[in-house]
Amino acid sequence: MMKRIIITIACIGLISLITVSEIYAGSHGHNMTSNWTCSQKVSGGVFTGQMPLHLMFNMHCIETGRIDGDYFSSASNCVANQVIGLDGKGSFHGTCRSYHKAGGTLFLRYTDFGSPTEQSGEGDVYVMGGEGKFKGASGFGTFTWTQGATDPQDQTSNAAFGKTKIKLTIP
C-alpha cells in the first residue's frame, strides 16, 4: 500500500513538473525570428565638456525571418544614438520602422549597454506597435549583433548584422 502511494505521488509530481515546464516554455517562446544586416552612417556627435559623447546615426536594414512559421522579408529605416559615459561604457538606443514586403509596418525599439569597442553583443528589443496587419502589435525579445566592416574611405560608415527573437502579439 505504501509503495502504491509513493508511486502515485511520484507520478503526480512528474506530470505536474512536465505540465508546468510546458506552460512556462510556451509562455516565453518566441514566434518571430529573423536575420538582419544593416548599413550604418554616423550623422553627428556632440561632446558635453569632455564626456559624455553622444553619437547619432542612421541605419538602413534588410531582414528575413519567420512569424508563426510564415516567411517574411522587410526593409527598415532606423535612427539611433549611443552615449559614451566617463567610465567608457556606452548605451545604445535605436528606433526602427520595419516595412514588410507582404504589407504592414512594425515599430521596434532596440537597447544595448556595453563598451563602444565591443565587436558583438546582445540587447533587448521592444515592439511598440505597427500599421496595417501589425496595428496594435506588441511584444518583447532579444537581439544579438556583430560589428561588420568599416568603410576605409569613410570611417563614419560601417555595417552590422545579427539575429532577433521576439514574442510577438498581433491582435
Q: Check if the beta carbon of residue 135 is closer than 8 Å to that of residue 148.
A: no
Q: What average pLDDT does the segment 9-20 reach? A: 36
93 and 74 within one domain: yes
The pLDDT of residue 28 is 53
What are the pLDDT digits (tens) for 106-143?
Answer: 999 999 987 777 888 999 999 999 999 999 999 999 99
- CA–CA separation, 146 vs 159, rounded Å? 9
Domain count of the fold of the chain: 2
Q: Check if the beta carbon of residue 77 is closer than 8 Å to that of residue 60.
A: yes
Angle at 72 (CA atoms; ends 66, 77), nearest 5 degrees: 115
CB burial string 36-62: b at 16+ within 10 A, e below: bebebebeeeeeeeeebbebebebebe
Domain coverage including residue 3:
1-28
132 and 95 within one domain: yes
135 and 63 within one domain: yes
pLDDT band of 155, cuts 50, 70, 90: confident
149 and 69 within one domain: yes
**CB-neighbour burial class of residue 149 (10 A; exposed 0-12, middle 13-18, buried 19+):** exposed
4 and 37 within one domain: no
112 and 154 within one domain: yes
Q: What average pLDDT does the segment 32-54 reach? A: 82
Q: What average pLDDT does the segment 36-46 reach? A: 85
Q: Is the pLDDT of residue 82 over 60?
A: yes
118 and 107 within one domain: yes
C-alpha cell at 169: 502579439
111 and 75 within one domain: yes
51 and 90 within one domain: yes
The pLDDT of residue 51 is 65
- CA–CA separation, 96 vs 94, rounded Å? 7
Q: What is the pTM of this model?
A: 0.75
- Which residues lie closer than 8 Å to 2 by C-beta, 6 or more apart? none
What's the mean pLDDT when you consider all of the chain?
81
Of 29 and 25, more confident: 29
93 and 15 within one domain: no
DSSP string, 126-140: EEEEEEGGGTT-EEE
10 and 36 within one domain: no
- Which residues lie closer than 8 Å to 76 by C-beta, 6 or more apart? 36, 38, 59, 60, 61, 62, 63, 96, 97, 98, 99, 108
Q: Is the pLDDT of residue 95 over 70?
A: yes
Q: What is the CATH number of the domain that holds 161?
A: 2.40.160.20
161 and 134 within one domain: yes
Q: Is the pLDDT of residue 72 over 90?
A: yes
